[in-house]
Chains A and B, each alone.
Chain A
Amino acid sequence: MSVATRPVRGGSPAVRRRAGAVVRGYPWLLPTIVVFGLFSWYPLVRGVVLAFQDDNLVSPPIWVGLANFRYVLTDSLFRVAWVNTVEFLLLGLVLGYALPVLVAVAISEMRRLQGFLRFLVYVPVVLPPVVSVLLWKWFYDPATGLFNQVLSAVGLPSSPWIQSSSTAMVSLVLVATWSSFGATALVYVAALSGVSGRLYEAAELDGAGALRRLWHVTLPQLRYILLVMLLLQIIGTMQVFTEPFVLTGGGPNNSTTTVALQIYDYAFVYNDYGAAAALSVVLAAVLAVLTALYLWLTRRWAQ
């Protein structure tokens, strides 16, 4: 309101008109404010409050102070879930971060079939996540799955894939990478189309080969978008849930139990909503730091 009233006191007709426009604008925001309030802000606040309560959703909640936090922080799976989540994150970066860039560069370099290739790369994104995960479940079947059949056909030893603690997480990362790299690749393709052709011409005139052009022209030109996508990938993979939930249920031996899966278990397997909320708050705090970093970087570049 202070924004709306201060200029009015200023007096000039132009300022009054502007102030009137601002005031009239607020009703248009109302639907958005209501929807966000109901479905984002209220649940967020309620979630934080729940983290300090013992609530069975029926009786009046009981305030329990930090008991829920103490419980989740001392749960032997707390450390396991965070280590697994960070492992998923790092493997996702190793296996999945460079891939969309390379695919985008390759597509951009194509003289023909660009549209078709873009479509092909994007197809996995169109599949509902659960469908693609179930498809991969069949790929990974140790006895009858596609991957081991192919491996044995070419004389290679079979892999346990999701049936071993040592390979399960990598297997999940492959599924996640396959499912999502198409969308990221298209962002890079779009970004690449904005890189001036003159830069490449100049580089070619200077005798730069394909790799040097990639290193000295393409990547520097994409550096902002690369960093943005890096942060988005980190924020996204820290909340990984679908792949372990559908493929492994967190196994074998909790080797794919992630923080989000642990939150689900607290809430819906044990009906311990306070513990679920407490762990959610911890996860949200970590994500908030990363998001703040993301906002700071993007604003800095915008300036």
Chain B
Amino acid sequence: MTVHQTTSRRRFLTALAAAGVATPFGLAACSGSSGSDSSSGGAGPVRITTADLPPAQTNPAGRAQFQADVDAFNTANKGSIELTAHEYTWASDTFAARLASGQLETTFLVPFTEPSKLIARRQVADITQPFQATADFADLNPQLVKVAQSDGKTYGVPVGGYAVGMVYNRAVFRRAGLDPDSPPTTWDEVRTQAKRIAALGGATSGFAMPTQDGYGGWYFTMMNASFGNQLERQDGSATTVTFPNGPSTQVMQLLHDMRWTDRSMGSKGVQAITDVQKQMAAGQLGMFTAAGDNLNAIVVQFGGKPADIGMGPYPQHGSADATLTGGSTAMFNVRADSRQLAAAAKWVDFHYLRQYSDAATAKQQFAAIAKDKTQTIGYPTLPLFTGARESTWEAIRAQYADLPAANFTAFNDWISSATLQPEPAVEAQVVYQALDAAVQKILTDSGADIGAALTAAAGQVKPALASAGAR
């Protein structure tokens, strides 16, 4: 918010969009229109719209590629489907207006942090039927599919997924006398290495954590997962928070000690994800935890050197071996009828997933991205599919990669065995916002009472959990 969510997680989505989200097509921004286009009418062709057409100004190559796919889809479905693409990227503060006015596209991408909220508010369509009817969807990675599932129903199709690991600057590691091929695997090691890096002096920090727009809460949730702790607990039909408890207090204490005892976290306790990405790109930061798509932002938006940026496992404390996922899922307009939903699902399969079953398409799309200066290829992703088609796709991607794969070996070796923990199931954004404040308190006030900060956050979350779906 945010995860104001700036928007709740608006920046996250922007980063995902900028990254091209596991689909070699770029994503997009800005307005669009025409809810009336979404009416399927009677027996004529079904009219649908899709968001995420890349903007001409910032991503002309991606736009041309996207539009070519729209044209190819319309040609292949001539007489039965008419698809129009709009330059709109989902954002929490524009979504409501588009939905209310009937201008929301038939299908649109949202970040993984959003589906549970949209499903709970009944603002997205149930696509269980077209999902089950599409053969390609059956092989999707179930861990990514479940992000948009609830009560046995499916509401989205994942088109890209990432796991969170430790992004680090290899050049900074070398300057601090650390081995860039051995990123930390435990929080104890993170603490030790962050101290070494901070000792370089100047404006260099060892470790950083974004704390605005819900990121503080999201990252805190992740740290808790690595300490074996989930922040929400089902108590019969009710949901309650588990914090403050032992692990959440330990996590907060670790942050407190790194910030105030070791002084390895710089001097900012309130900062956005983009602030942290900038520091990483500028070689002023040793480490921060992030999903693989962050590498795109670091390199493309902020000019980081690809050779300097590495990614290792998410650090652990104990035996949890857990991390959270990030990514993007296609969701569908709740006002769309069954014909439109079927047509939109067909488009999602054609546009986002065709490359996984058709090598020629994958090559063509990677070749287009390789020419596009706004995207990189080769940052670590989670397997979108189970089975051989994923490995075939990854082999093709490796041929076009412009980020050095060797820099991510430690992450890739680890991720296949890690546990991907889901986000808090109920009112996740409220949890993140409340914990933003708690984390900020600890990182801006050396004398802060950890128990009191967590208790205050819990107090803020409980009414929302109690009234979820009740008002």
* Residues of A that sit less than 8 Å from B by CB: 54, 56-59, 64, 67-68, 71, 74-77, 141-144, 160, 162-165, 168, 245, 248-254, 264-265, 267-271, 273-274
Contact = CB atoms under 8 A, between A and B. Distances in A.
Interface in B101-127: 117-118, 121-123
Contacts of B374: none
A249 to B, nearest CB: 4
B460 interface: yes
A249 B270 contact: yes
A162 B275 CA distance: 14
B268 A265 contact: no
B444 A249 contact: no
Contacts of A76: 456, 459-460, 463
Interface of B: 1-8, 92-93, 96, 99-100, 117-118, 121-123, 203, 211-214, 266-270, 272, 334-335, 427, 429-430, 433, 436-438, 440-441, 443-445, 453, 456, 459-460, 463-464, 467, 471
B467 A71 contact: yes
B437 A254 contact: yes
Given A269-B92, A271-B118, A251 B436 contact: yes
A71 B2 contact: no
Nearest to A276: B96
A56 B122 contact: yes
B96 A142 contact: no
B440 A58 contact: no
A268 B100 CA distance: 13
A56 B430 CA distance: 17
Q: Which 9 A-B pairs have CB atoms at the shortest separation, nearest pair first? A: A253-B441, A252-B440, A268-B93, A57-B100, A249-B212, A142-B267, A252-B444, A269-B8, A251-B440
A268 B269 CA distance: 24
Nearest to B470: A67
A143 B2 contact: no
Nearest to B464: A270
A162 B272 CA distance: 13
B35 to A, nearest CB: 12
A269 B429 contact: yes
A293 B93 CA distance: 34
A142 B4 contact: no
Contacts of A160: 267, 444
Given A76-B456, A251-B440, A271 B471 contact: no
Contacts of B437: 250-254
Contact of A143 (B203, B211, B444): B203
A237 to B, nearest CB: 21
Given A253-B441, A268-B4, 18 more contacts: A56-B122, A58-B334, A71-B467, A163-B444, A164-B445, A165-B441, A251-B211, A251-B436, A252-B440, A267-B93, A267-B96, A268-B8, A269-B5, A269-B7, A269-B214, A271-B92, A271-B117, A273-B96
A75 B121 contact: no
Contacts of A64: 471
Contacts of B433: 265, 269
Contacts of A252: 269-270, 437, 440-441, 443-445
Contact of B96 (A57, A164, A165, A248): A57
B212 A251 contact: yes
Contacts of B123: 56-58, 271
Nearest to B461: A76
B463 A58 contact: no
A146 to B, nearest CB: 14
Contacts of B96: 57, 267-268, 271, 273
B273 to A, nearest CB: 11
A267 B99 CA distance: 13
Contacts of B430: 270
A254 B214 CA distance: 12
A275 to B, nearest CB: 8
A10 B4 CA distance: 63
Contacts of A54: 471
A169 B117 CA distance: 31
A66 to B, nearest CB: 11
A144 B203 CA distance: 8
Contacts of B267: 142-143, 160, 163
Nearest to A273: B96
B3 A269 contact: yes
Nearest to B427: A270
A269 B4 contact: yes
A145 to B, nearest CB: 10
A59 B440 contact: no
B262 to A, nearest CB: 16
A253 B440 contact: yes
A56 B121 contact: yes
Nearest to A55: B100
